[in-house]
Structure 1
Amino acid sequence: MISLLLHTGNADLIAQVAAFVATLVAFGWPFLQRSTSADCRRAAGPPGPPGQVTRLTGPRPRVEPSTTTVVLTVALGVAVFWLLDLLTTWMGLGSLGYWSGEYPDDPSEIYRAVVLRSLLVLLPGILVVAVAMAHRLHSAAGSALFVTCVLYTVAVLATNLVLVRHWDAEPMAEDVYVPLLLGGSAWLVCLIARRFAARTQEVFDLTQAVKLEMRRGAPSARSEAGTV
């Protein structure tokens, strides 16, 4: 995708693709929330009698993510990683030469400089997303995050290839090895994210349990208000 920014100022194609991917993320998020809540309800078992307060202390039930949860999480993770890559690329290109006032002439040098600047925002962004994914996927987080990083790498490679061909531009070695390095860096960040998620899993599970109890209590509260 950096090839587009280096070879032409016309960003209509990539902007349309980015808007489409962002729309998919926006529509897919509610489905992921429903699937995650269903996993938690399954782990917690059937609700108790009306008026009984569910115990929110002690060990949480073991939550096993469903296939739907895993697939949706990976798909949304790849999309968000790609969008972060695009956003940070534009940010890196915009900051190029801002302080020094010098703009490199070599496209390869521009590519490397943009990537180095984008990493300052891209990797922390991937860390936040990976922690959220690991919280929801529990034991499936390791394999799912690995697949996400692989698909993210493939997506960036494919984007570079399509854009180079679309504008009949001169291919660069950076179009191939930089996405591979980004994918490897994303995987290392995901390993850190898994460790952090493991330490904060209890807090996340407790928050999910409270939300489920609030949702369960809402219909009964409405029915009681209707009978008064």
Structure 2
Amino acid sequence: MTSLKNAVVLVTGANGGIGRQFVEEALTRGAAKVYATARQPREWEDERVIPLQLDVTDPASIQAVAEQASDVTVLINNAGVSTQSTGILTHTDEEIRSSMETNFLGPLFLSRAFAPLLSQHSGEAAIINIHSALSWNALAGIYSATKAGLWSVTNSLRLELLPAGVHVMGVHMGFVDTPMAAHANAPKLAPADLVNQVFDGLAAGSYEVLADDTAKGFKAGLSAPLETMYPQLNAEN
């Protein structure tokens, strides 16, 4: 169980809808300081919020932030990108590389950079990785692939950091009501609802948060035949 009371939190992608909610709710729950990181950091009205420039695809930027925010106790890997097209064969080279660097390599390298620092706060430190229900469904092409990879990374980090007392949590959800999901004509989770579930789960010691029915359904489908998850495969039989 990890408390946000007096915690020092770092949020990537802090300017987005989910990121802003993480910053605000962390403060509401008693965080002493929040590093709000983004490629183009914004000003915040609360003096407890420290804006930092961070490009999660740039190793030098990651190292600089790790040095500037060496007192972090809770790392939230929230930054991510998506593509308009869903066919993995139709993505451009740039879309594939950008997605892998932002959604997969970014959280991995940030976690690696902060792991020694978090390990100094055994029993009070945590990494929260924002996955997606599409970690378990391949319909979104490279986005699904990167989130599936991040899910595996989270599982590895959880085991490797367990002896150091660093709690590692993965978060899965369907659409969230943010600009990234503006194109979707489907039920959307409010950012505040998602963030409250995440922080409630952290306080309870949960390893995984399934924030909506989409995530719960896809997780349950992992044990079913492939034709259940992808009914179009039945057309071949």
Which TM-score applies when normalising by structure 1?
Answer: 0.31
**If each structure's strand is expressed as a fraction of its own residues, which one has the higher value?**
2
- Structure number with bigger Rg: 1
**If each structure's helix is expressed as a fraction of its own residues, which one has the higher value?**
1
Q: Which has the higher contact order (CA 8 A, sep 6+)?
A: 1
Which TM-score applies when normalising by structure 2?
Answer: 0.30
